[in-house]
Amino acid sequence: MMTSLSELPQRKASGPKLAVLTAYDYPTARMLDDAGVDLLLVGDSLGMVVLGLPDTTGVTMDMMVHHTSAVCRGVTRAPVIADLPFASYLTPEMAVANAQRLMDCGAACVKLEGGVSMLPQIRAIIDAGIPFVGHIGMLPQSVREEGGYKKKGKTAESIDHLIADAQAIDQAGAVAMVLESIVPAVATQITSLVKASTIGIGAGTGTDGQVLVTPDLLGSFPWFRPPFAKARADVAGETLRAVREYMAEVQS
Ligand code: KIV
């Protein structure tokens, strides 16, 4: 059970692996914190699983500030990672100003998508004293340019790019990096090459930890769940049951 980002190197060296979950609101954050989850991520998956948008590109800084503040009010222990949303880090100056807005909500660190191509922004954030988490592999904010969600690390060229991105982020001083939808052997290789903790999603079990979108874990977003995400509860089913029971009682 983590209380500070400073514990990450020790956890990478000796375990246990990091258990990370997303949160977007106060009650969920409070329950996950009480349960002992290591890190909470206010992901821009918010757009899809909470706000009903088709992808993450419609998420704004104001939305992230609103939800990061709510999550941070619910947490007394777990460090909170806050996502910089689409088009909020177009320049290094913009990246630092928006990262600072999320830190002012109570986040412990910020995350953005991209590696070598985002180095000026990543360096500016770290130089401003803001702890940074990278995100490489399949990048949901690029879904429109890429024409879909595609697994990374299937070709020699793709593997070279991923390793270059991971090493660039690591050398810049990231505390951790998310490896999303990467061929497992490549994610394992990256994990052994970098000092930062790797947090995988759809990238096999060889990373330093795992992250899941909490509605996928709880079965509270029943309309879509990625194949690698195992639902361990049926909150949607239980909600329907309770609502129908209430309606039957009121209407009888
Ligand atoms: O937005 C998010 O929830 C994420 C995870 C999928 C890693 O970035």
Q: Is the pLDDT of residue 213 over 90?
A: yes
Q: Considering 93, 113, 157, 180, which one is annotated as catalytic?
A: 180
Delimit the domains of the chain by residue range.
5-212
Q: Is 216 in the pocket of ligand 1 (CB under 6 A)?
A: no
Q: Quick one: tokens of 247? A: 């309606």
Q: Is 163 in the pocket of ligand 1 (CB under 6 A)?
A: no
Which of 67-71, 144-148, 175-179 is the least confident region? 144-148
7 is catalytic: no
Ligand 1 atom 1 nearest Cα: 43
Q: Is the pLDDT of residue 69 over 90?
A: yes
Mean residue pLDDT of the chain comes to 97
Ligand 1 geometric centre to CA of 41 (Å) = 7
Atom of ligand 1 lying closest to residue 199 CA:
7
Atom of ligand 1 lying closest to residue 44 CA:
1
Residue 184, CA distances (Å) to 29, 179, 211, 239 in order: 29, 10, 15, 35
Q: Give the pLDDT band of residue 102 (cuts 50, 70, 90).
A: very high
Q: Give the pLDDT band of residue 150 (cuts 50, 70, 90).
A: confident
Query: What share of the chain in percent tops pLDDT 70?
Result: 100
Q: Is 83 in the pocket of ligand 1 (CB under 6 A)?
A: yes
On whether the 5-212 domain is CATH 3.20.20.70, my answer is no
